[in-house]
Structure 1
Amino acid sequence: MTPVAPLITRFLREHMPIERGYSPHTCGTYAHAFRLLFIFASKRLGIRPSQLCIEQIDAELILAFLAYIEEQRGNSAATRNGRLAAIKAFFHYVEFSVPSALAQARQIHAIPGKRHDQALIRHLTKDEVCALIDAPDITTRLGIRDRAMLHLCFACGLRVSELVGLLLENLSLQRTPSIRVLGKGRRERCLPLWKATTADLRAWLAVRGKVPVPELFVNAQGDAMTRAGFEYVLDKHACTAAKTCASLNGRSVSPHQLRHGCAITMLQATRDIRKVALWLGHADTRTTEIYLRVDPLEKLDAMEAVLSLGLRRGRFKAPDALIASLFEPE
């Protein structure tokens, strides 16, 4: 029997961040998936999580776990598929470390993902973005910081991890203001800044002061801004913005909705899905195609490009008085 503990430790601490180059956020997401799996397995098998062996984590147990997180924890099919992807990635690693588990790993890899409805993404409109960026009180230091964060997040379509991890040295305010962003898959991209965004960043740098961390945005204590910290800032200003923008009333605004809003704005301005993919840092334009389903102007262009069929017009004529009377309004 092969203990799980040393394998999962090497997988999360060495294989994912060092060998594969996964971001800390992705590593944390995978770790949470395994935390749930091991708690479930320990209760099901009646042993402590540290006593679990790889041979006990078989396809039958994983299927029961997937059913549990959907039925008991209320996870969506998309979340269920994400947990399954993490498990499959781990067992791909196990194949090379424990050759005796090859047959077991093959059965786990054969577990299919669950098909689910793909709803339209929710994004922020131009009016909503303006109300949100105008919400912070720019007469205070933290208000200036919040406005700069919100503006930069939207203008560059940044992920939260990219925003809070942005280093001061990666901001250039010289001739052509720009930022260098390290995105998913360690892919780096350079994005130019709007004049208004640059002005907000200059205002923040003027009051940022000397802090001991290299990140551009810091919290009130001078430490690097965290993901949770930005989500708190966004939620606070979304409540303020709702007072002037009715569509934000009672709405939960997530950081990714700012990114989606940027993508829609870029798509409407450029009409080029490839440029939007480059701006957002997508490795594959198929990921960016979700925005084509959201933007109605794309469908209008398609309608205008198609010539009318020239169908013959006419009106229904009843064959006799009885049938005609059935169509008379009451």
Structure 2
Amino acid sequence: LIDYLDRAEIKALLDAPDPRTRLGTRDRAMLHLAYAGGLRVSELVTLQLRDFPDRSLSTMHIMGKGRRERVLPLWKETQIALRAWLAIRPQVEVTEIFLNANGQPMTRDGFAFRLAEHVKTAATKQPSILGKRVTPHVLRHSCAMHTLAATGDIRKVALWLGHASIQSTETYLRADPEEKLQILAAHGAPAIKPGRFKPPSDALITMLTDVRRRA
């Protein structure tokens, strides 16, 4: 089984960073991209401006695990969050989009730390999120589960996440209770003929009574 956030928890998390601050603007863009693209944390922290070939930021080019490439469209909300960060991103020599407070590329641990801080903020709106272990990879799982729920097609989930084999993606089928309920509904319960209770005859009761006395 895998951990993932439901839609209400995801919304609370995406809204957690304060857009009035520079770090909040950066974090909101990171969270939006990590969830919308189903990105591995390594894919997120190595993103560069050249990975957005369209100036409108409508698509994102990802070089994934095993050098497998994929191009993903982005929601307008994600484009807005990313554009807000790029507008205030410090002018430094490093090419990675996301920087830490020192102007250096964001690290995996750095993102995990910021995520944990925003989980605490999100919990004020959605307390259920505290009952889950929210790691960067949980955002990828959440994207996969919501994509599966929206499309009902495991192949599309595999395409979105950049899986080499659909066997990796089948994990989400095992985790999704809604999918299991749909399978139950499709097959239906087996038709079992109802039985009818018959009280024991007087002869049987007499025999059992005799056996009990002899014992």
TM-score (norm 1): 0.58
2:98 match? 217
1:204 match? 85
User: Matches of residues 165-204 of structure 1 in structure 2 within 5 Å?
Assistant: 165-174=46-55, 177-204=58-85
2:150 corresponds to 1:269: yes
2:13 corresponds to 1:132: yes
2:141 corresponds to 1:231: no
Aligned residue pair count: 204
Asked if the contact 2:22–2:88 (Cα under 8 Å) also holds between the matched residues in 1, the reply is: yes
Asked if the contact 2:51–2:60 (Cα under 8 Å) also holds between the matched residues in 1, the reply is: yes
1:298 match? 179
Within 2, Cα distance between the matches of 1:275 and 1:316?
A: 52
User: Matches of residues 1-330 of structure 1 in structure 2 within 5 Å?
Assistant: 120-174=1-55, 177-249=58-130, 251-319=132-200
Quote the offset at 1:169 in angstroms: 1.2
Asked if the contact 1:173–1:198 (Cα under 8 Å) also holds between the matched residues in 2, the reply is: no
Within 1, Cα distance between the matches of 2:83 and 2:196?
A: 67
Asked if the contact 2:3–2:133 (Cα under 8 Å) also holds between the matched residues in 1, the reply is: no
What one-letter code is carried by the residue in structure 1 that aligns with 2:84? A
Asked if the contact 2:5–2:129 (Cα under 8 Å) also holds between the matched residues in 1, the reply is: no
Quote the offset at 1:308 in angstroms: 4.8
Quote the offset at 1:254 in angstroms: 0.5
TM-aligned CA distance change 1:144 to 1:318, over 3 Å: farther
Structure possessing the higher relative contact order (Cα contacts under 8 Å, 6 or more residues apart): 2
Quote the offset at 1:304 in angstroms: 2.3
RMSD, matched Cα: 2.0
Superposed structure 1 runs of 4+ greater than 2 Å apart:
172-176, 249-252, 307-311, 313-321
- Secondary structure of the 1:123 match is coil
Asked if the contact 2:3–2:132 (Cα under 8 Å) also holds between the matched residues in 1, the reply is: no
- Secondary structure of the 2:70 match is strand
TM-aligned CA distance change 1:318 to 1:198, over 3 Å: farther
Q: Percent identity?
A: 55
Quote the offset at 1:214 in angstroms: 0.6
Quote the offset at 1:319 in angstroms: 2.6
TM-aligned CA distance change 1:206 to 1:320, over 3 Å: farther
Asked if the contact 1:183–1:281 (Cα under 8 Å) also holds between the matched residues in 2, the reply is: yes
What one-letter code is carried by the residue in structure 2 that aligns with 1:294? A
TM-aligned CA distance change 1:251 to 1:176, over 3 Å: closer
Quote the offset at 1:298 in angstroms: 1.6
Quote the offset at 1:127 in angstroms: 1.1
TM-aligned CA distance change 1:242 to 1:314, over 3 Å: same
